[in-house]
Amino acid sequence: MSAPSPIDSFAAKIRKGGHGGLVSAWIGIPSPLMVNHLAQEDFDSLVLDMQHGMWDLGTAAAAVAQVRVAGKPALARIPVGDFSAASRLLDAGFSGIIAPMVNSKADAEALVSFTKYPPLGERSWGPSLALNHVGIPASEYLKTANDLTVTIAMVETRAALEAVDDILGVEGIDGIFVGPSDLSIALSNGAKVAPDTPEVDKELSHVIARCRAHKKFVCAFGSDGARAGEMLTLGCDLVIAAGDSTQIRNGAAREIAAARKGFKR
């Protein structure tokens, strides 16, 4: 069996840990061409956000090539409970699925059933574009796809916090992704969205400890680069350093301010 390409080694790398902190892009603007540009930056992977971003399946599938041409893996966050989309995105060549609002062992098992081939799950056969991207024969893909891709459950509710050991105990769940905004809304019973607070960090630290105990990896969404750095220091394996629109607008604001510095209108 051939050794996976550097792109397809991502799953093994994040599962193993000890890689010194991975930073991923998070893209909601549904433009494969913008993906092509962002992929040139020093990201370890790129996530296409199909929950709150505006991607449709065909455009997301086309963007995989724009990520892989930069030598990087593409991950997708699916809409809540849309596990059949998870199978289709893996067929399109995505290297991992992030599923929001996984709140129970049953949710985690359903997710695995759509993202892993037997014996772990019941992913149906048809990896059309994935075979082209990964560049291995069908028989080899069937044997290795469960290892070459990652299935990630989002923990972002009180129910998920309570069930985190059950979720982590499901074979085929490779890691957890903490959503601090939804978590802060849940922790405050809907009173506020406050992702960058000690209350969220307390729960994040707990989830990190449970992931370590289960020998699984943990990711989190940072609202900016500094926050993402704090999350790496807390022990996250992969972080987001703000989404695409924030990064673009912050960059624009910084350059506009630089242009006007010292210039009186």
Residues that bind Mg ion (CB under 5 A): 156, 179, 182
Q: Any contact of residue 181 with ligand 3PY (CB under 6 A)?
A: yes
Q: Any contact of residue 222 with ligand 3PY (CB under 6 A)?
A: no
Q: Can you tell me the distance from the alpha carbon of 159 to that of 58, in angstroms, rounded to the nearest whole number?
A: 33
Number of residues that bind ligand 3PY (CB under 6 A): 8
| Region of 28-36, 85-93, 162-170, 174-182 interacting with ligand 3PY (CB under 6 A) | 174-182
The entry of Mg ion, ligand 3PY, none near residue 91 (CB within 5 to 8 angstroms by kind) is none
| Region of 10-18, 111-119, 173-181, 249-257 interacting with ligand 3PY (CB under 6 A) | 173-181
Of residues 99 through 128, those in contact with ligand 3PY by CB under 6 A are 100
The entry of Mg ion, ligand 3PY, none near residue 180 (CB within 5 to 8 angstroms by kind) is ligand 3PY
Nearest CB to ligand 3PY, comparing residues 145 and 183: 183
> At closest approach, how far in Å is the CB of 154 from Mg ion?
6
DSSP the chain: -PPPPTGGGHHHHHHH--SS-EEEEEE-S--HHHHHHHTTSS-SEEEEESSSS---HHHHHHHHHHHHTTT--EEEEPPTT-HHHHHHHHHTT-SEEEES---SHHHHHHHHHHHS-TTT--PPS--HHHHHHHT--HHHHHHHHHHHSEEEEEE-SHHHHHTHHHHHTSTT--EEEE-HHHHHHHHTTTS----SSHHHHHHHHHHHHHHHHTT-EEEEEESSHHHHHHHHHHT-SEEEES-HHHHHHHHHHHHHHHHHTT---
> At closest approach, how far in Å is the CB of 6 from ligand 3PY?
27
Q: Any contact of residue 221 with ligand 3PY (CB under 6 A)?
A: yes
**Catalytic one among 52, 133, 206, 214?**
52
Active site residue 52: yes
Residues within the interface to ligand 3PY (CB under 6 A) = 100, 156, 179-182, 195, 221
Active site residues: 52
